[in-house]
Structure 1
Amino acid sequence: MESVLISWIMFMSIWAFAAMGYDKSQAKKKQKRIPERNLWLLALLGGGIGAYIGMQMFRHKTRHTAFRVGFFVIAIAYGIGLLYLLGVDLPGLTTA
């Protein structure tokens, strides 16, 4: 089960990263864009890490506080989840 979740998060992160790059490219060309709700949906459904990395790398949506903070929080949550699934000992998150 863990490997399925890890694979899902990786897949969605790659998709969200690509979506951020594509949307930035479309913005530069002033062409049809990806709706913001779709970018949020990709992040929430597992692509938070990729969306945040894409936002930083492509310098896309970085002026929008909701994106900056929201994608960061989602990325941290998925990052902690990945570490947990990978069996990394996280202080304060282990059960006795």
Structure 2
Amino acid sequence: MQNIIIFAACYVVVNIIAFLVYRQDKRKAENGAWRTPEKTLIIAAFLGPFGAYAGMRRFRHKTQKLKFKLVPFFLILHCGAIIWFGYIVLIM
């Protein structure tokens, strides 16, 4: 049970980091500074889709670009994995 709590805490931290990466890139865009590579933003979205999606919506950032339409897909994928993992844990 302790491992699950540690994993969940790490997952929350990764999502917070993804949110902050999107916030930072939006601020860089507004200030005309060097931007975060899109590849980095996509990786952040894959690892922390809840934070990335929240960042996209909160800061209205990267919502129109085609490749960032993957973020909701990553979100659904993670939701499915969480449900599956919860099911496995409840059975055992």
Relative to the length of structure 2, the TM-score reads: 0.80
Residue of structure 1 in register with 2:67 after alignment? 66
Q: Equivalent residue for 2:31?
A: 29
Which ranges of structure 1 fall in alignment gaps of 5 or more residues?
90-94
C-alpha offsets along residues 12-48 of structure 1, whole Å, 9 cap, x if unaligned? 1100001101100100111011111111111223x11
Deviation at 1:77, TM superposition (A): 1.6
Question: Which runs of structure 1 show a deviation greater than 2 angstroms over 4 or more consecutive aligned residues?
Answer: 1-5, 79-85
Q: How many Å apart are 1:5 and its aligned residue?
A: 2.8
Q: How many residues align?
A: 87
Aligned AA (2:11): I
Deviations 1:37-78 (A, max 9, x none): 111111223x111101110110000110220x2000101222
What RMSD over aligned residues (CA atoms) do the two structures have, in Å? Answer: 2.1
**Structure 2 unaligned blocks of 5 or more:** none
Which residue of structure 2 aligns with residue 48 of structure 1? 49
